[in-house]
Copies of this chain bind each other. A is one copy, B any other.
Amino acid sequence: MKSLEQRCVEHGLSMGRKRRLIIRVLSEAEGHLSAADLHRRVVALDRSISLATVYRTLTIFEEIGVLKRLDFGDRTMRYEEADKTPHDHLLDMTDGGVVEFQAPEVAALLAEVADRLGYRLKGYRLDLYATPVADR
């Protein structure tokens, strides 16, 4: 699988030391990072990297399709790798945790719904809010 860096080069981005560092942190990170999250981690390795750079990098990476921007309804955007298999999010209301899941049937149904309305589905955004079932 192509590395983030390779994909940057393909898009004609120059690869400075700081950008490399951000890429490294991104590659090692799990889950859904906000700009502040990422900045915190990156600053731990090089305290000269500014928040503005982190924002600019995230924006660029979203534009070249390396990251996907997530919006969970609080007012901070989060990012995740774009090339993961498509999935949606279930938000655990008891602890704020995020469970990822795949549901091809859902996508199929949504496409059909859009079709009924006279539209072609280009994408969707689905977040489930749920509480864990006790017995298990």
Given the contacts A99-B117, A105-B109, A113-B103, A131 and B122 also touching, CB distance less than 8 Å: yes
A11 to B113, CA, bound (A): 38
Are B113 and A136 closer than 8 Å at their CB atoms? no
Given the contacts A103-B113, A109-B106, A124 and B133 also touching, CB distance less than 8 Å: no
Please tell me the size bucket of the interface on A.
Answer: 20 to 34
Chain A positions 73-117 with a Cβ under 8 Å from a chain B Cβ: 73, 75, 90, 92-93, 99, 101, 103, 105-106, 109-110, 113-115, 117
Are B118 and A128 closer than 8 Å at their CB atoms? no
Given the contacts A71-B71, A90-B114, A113-B103, A126 and B129 also touching, CB distance less than 8 Å: no
Task: Knowing that A106-B110, A124-B127 touch, tell me 19 more A-B residue pairs with CB under 8 angstroms.
Answer: A73-B125, A90-B117, A93-B122, A99-B117, A101-B117, A105-B109, A106-B106, A106-B109, A106-B113, A109-B109, A113-B128, A114-B130, A115-B133, A118-B132, A119-B133, A120-B131, A123-B128, A123-B129, A124-B129
